[in-house]
Amino acid sequence: MKITGIDHLVLRTTQTQIMVDFYCQVLSCVVERQLAPDVGLTQLRAGSALIDIVAVDSELGRLGGRASSGRDNNLDHFCLGFTEMSLSDLLVHLTKHNVRMGEVATRYGAQGFGQSVYIFDPDGNTVELKLEVS
């Protein structure tokens, strides 16, 4: 077996539309697929992967238990690489959208060392945004 990358990740939420709006409007994801509201799945395209937004009170959401508490979660953070925008322009963009941010630092990931910043989505999930230099 050879792992080729992360296919998708699933974020469970009590505020589906707010989460979809955040990932689409702030992070430029695109809605790829939405299932019926009772099923509760919205899939967002994030580069070569998907971010699934699942309503906690939906058919799919109930399978996963209670809603995230914003602390004591299984997932510490996930990282999205970005290009076609400088880090300084990204920080201006995030500030314009009132996104809560941590400090910029050089961090190591799948593409090596690079500048990144931790941000927090509307449910309190930590998302690292890492500038990928070609």
Helix (H) or strand (E) holding 62: helix 59-63
Residues 87 and 124 in one domain: yes
> Residue 82 to residues 20, 34, 128: CA-CA distances in angstroms?
19, 25, 10
Residues 9 and 61 in one domain: yes
The answer to whether the CB of 63 falls within 8 A of the CB of 71 is no
What is the number of residues in the chain? 134
Whole-number pLDDT of residue 132: 87
Task: Using the structure block, give the residue that is written with the tokens 């077996």.
Answer: 1
The parts of the chain modelled with pLDDT lower than 70 are: 1, 68-74, 134
For residue 63, what are the domain limits? Answer: 1-68
Residues 124 and 63 in one domain: no
Residues 38 and 95 in one domain: no
Whole-number pLDDT of residue 72: 60
Whole-number pLDDT of residue 60: 86
